[in-house]
Copies of this chain bind each other. A is one copy, B any other.
Amino acid sequence: MGHQGETARRRIIDAAYEYFYRHGYGRAGVDAIAEAAGVTKRTLYHHFDSKDALLTAVLEDQHELVLKRLRQWLKPKNEPSALAEVMFAELKRWSAKPGWQGSGFSRAVLELADLPGHPARLAARRHKAALEQLLREELAQYAHRDADVLARQVLALVEGCMVLILVHGDPTYADAGGAAARLLVEAAARQGTGAQIR
């Protein structure tokens, strides 16, 4: 694929991201995406076999961006509570932006809940597993034995806060989530043995 092809592909992915994020998978139209990308529908289908393939490409692209962002947020901290603080402070800031509509991955999963084998579902599963893995590695610094469970708990708080912020249009749910994460991480760090985080 030449430089032109790469540029068109990139423009299609960027336009598709906007449409899928704004309107969800079902209501985002391929015609509108092609138009926004400044390509013909024929060109779009030259790069992506189907709307499914396009959504999958968008999610794989986002996967890299999100992991990079999370790694920045998780830059080594001096104390365990700082990790929880920064994650939920960033979530609060992000969710207060105009047009914020939660995690595109989680929304794809919930919209395609009846299609567990859909390629977008597989991309979302890989993405969330990578986030959990990254978080587990960070948390292992503070809670060696319980990092697995702790990573699931912190991630559940992040996911749940996103849902509740979207339901109520209220980013302060991230404050409650951050306080909970801090308490969980501190308890694990204090206990060491994991007696409390079974």
Contact = CB atoms under 8 A, between A and B. Distances in A.
Interface range, A side = 35 or more
- Provide the main secondary structure of the chain A interface: helix
A155 interface: yes
A76 interface: no
A183 B168 contact: no
A167 B128 contact: yes
Contacts of A198: 179
Nearest to A154: B180
A80 to B, nearest CB: 14
Contacts of A166: 109-110, 113
A29 to B, nearest CB: 12
Interface centre among A106, A112, A153, A198 (most CB of B within 10 A): A153
B116 A107 contact: no
Interface string A151-172: 0110111111101101111000
